[in-house]
Amino acid sequence: MSALSARQAVLLVTRREIETRILSKMFLIFTGLMLVTVIGGSVIFTLIGGSSAVTVGVTDPALARPLAAAADALGEDVETRTVPAATGEKQVLDGELDVFVTGTATAPKAVVKRQLDPALQAALASIARQTALDAEIARTGGDPAAANRAAAAAKVDVQRLDPQAEGFGERIGLGMFAGILVYLILLVYGQTVVQGVVEEKSSRVVELLLTSIRPTQLLFGKVLGIGVVGTVQMLLVVVAGVVSAQVTGLFSIPASVITWAGFWALVWFLLGYVMYALMFAALGSLVSRQEDANGVVTPVMMLIIVPYVIGVSVLPADPDSGLVELLSLIPFFSPTLMPMRAAFDVPAWQVALTLTLTVLLIALMIQLAGRIYRNSVLRTGTRIRLADAFRDA
């Protein structure tokens, strides 16, 4: 028989939490689903992205080259082939062709099943205009080739001031994905903490446990154990996401941006988890029945849900949003908003500030949650008022 140190007591509780949860069906199913979503998502998006070429059938082979060139200039990938006039329409109906072009160069006629791709329409229009223009220039005795060269030389030079303009849409997608992931896993494991705390109260086992260990040892052991399980899951999903995105070549932005986004998602999950889990545990200890748990933890749920909703609705349209930037500096909201912003370049001072504030808030929460939990975990029956839980019995 040896004395049990505080560290040993916490680790025993932690171990129980990990052992009972990491092998649970819930964990395995949830993790499996997330992995399938992430890996499958990368593969599917890559496949969709790769098959975007438009197949165009032309009756006049002379039209094929200028059409491809004009479409290419407009950022459209076009595959052309020469088709007999008689079967063109049928091939469009059968889906073998996206577009069937007949008529002359100056008056082309595009046959489509439903809608003509706007870029392709612009390309056809430009070819028609060019042909008419060439004919007119030749008629007035000019040199169409010289005129075209002059026209080609006259272009707008665009200077992009934002270095992140490259792959802008991809960064938004990446940020949103990181945000959703952190949000989901925070919610799931926050709820797990609440259920764990309330289960010990409702089953009264807590009275037995607290004859051998201190309330704070039970609290920290539980938060730590569930945190390890959540981190394992988060790590699996992030690694699977980063690796599959790079293997499939889903993104054109530099690989380091993706890796950093994954890194920050992990960091903010960890910090957010500790912060919210302590709040969840403290509030959960106020009630003795699972039915009462939802009501009492709603304020913490809101701390997670509200900034998340603001983030996903504002950021895709306006990644530089001042509102989101400001909110993300508030430590209660940083864990959900910072991972979304991490796909863009966040000023270093903001990263340093949010990390510092969040760590300070966690330190405060350790004190507060320890006090509330200690004062309320053994009081069963009706819901305890928060003010009463602050007062030492």
Cα–Cα distance, 127 to 150 (Å, whole number) = 17
* 259 forms part of the interface with another protein (CB under 8 A): no
Question: Residue 135: what are its φ and ψ, rounded to 5°?
Answer: -60, -40
> Which residues of the chain form beta strands (DSSP E)?
54-58, 78-82, 99-103, 108-112
Of positions 12, 355, 357, 386, contacts another protein by CB under 8 A: 12
Position 301 contacts another protein (CB under 8 A): no
CA–CA distance, 223 with 189 (Å, rounded to integer): 10
Report the half-sphere exposure of 272 (CA within 13 A, side-chain side): 37
Q: Can residue 236 be called a binding residue for another protein (CB under 8 A)?
A: no
Identify the CA nearest to 225 among candidates 387, 73, 15.
Answer: 15
Query: Is residue 382 a contact residue for another protein (CB under 8 A)?
Result: no
Residue 1 as a binder of another protein (CB under 8 A): the answer is: yes
Q: Which two tokens stand for residue 118?
A: 């706007």
For position 132 contacting another protein by CB under 8 A, the verdict is no
Kindly state the helix (H) or strand (E) to which residue 101 belongs, with its residue range: strand 99-103
Q: Which of 28, 40, 129, 203 binds another protein (CB under 8 A)?
A: 203
CB of 315 to another protein, least distance (A): 40
What is the full DSSP assignment across 57-100? EESSHHHHHHHHHHHHHTT--EEEEE--HHHHHHHHHHTS-SEE
Residues of this chain, 13-42, that bind another protein according to CB under 8 A: 16, 19-20
Q: Which of residues 316-375 bind another protein (CB under 8 A)?
A: none
Q: Which of 43, 147, 213, 236 binds another protein (CB under 8 A)?
A: 213
Q: Which residues have CB under 8 Å from 273's CB, separation 6+?
A: 185, 186, 189, 190, 227, 230, 231, 335
Q: Which stretch binds another protein (CB under 8 A): 2-10, 111-119, 129-137, 302-310?
A: 2-10
Query: Applying CB under 8 A, which of residues 46, 378, 383, 386 lies at the interface with another protein?
Result: 378
Which of 236, 380, 383, 386 contacts another protein by CB under 8 A? 380
Instruction: Decide whether 148 or 191 has the Cβ nearer to another protein.
Output: 191
Rule CB under 8 A: is residue 206 a binding residue for another protein? yes
Is 72 near another protein (CB under 8 A)? no
Does 4 engage in binding with another protein (CB under 8 A)? yes
Q: Could you tell me where the DSSP H helices lie in 249-289?
A: 255-284
Distance of alpha carbon 130 from alpha carbon 240, whole angstroms: 50
C-alpha 313/C-alpha 69 separation (Å) is 38
- Smallest distance from another protein to CB 274, Å: 24
Q: How many residues in the shown chain lie near another protein by CB under 8 A?
A: 26
CA dist., res. 260 & res. 321, Å (int): 21
Would you count residue 115 as binding another protein (CB under 8 A)?
A: no
Residue 79 or 199: which CB sits closer to another protein? Answer: 199
Using CB under 8 A as the binding rule, whether residue 170 contacts another protein is answered as: no
By the criterion CB under 8 A, which residues form the site for another protein? 1-4, 9, 12, 16, 19-20, 199-200, 203-214, 378, 380, 393
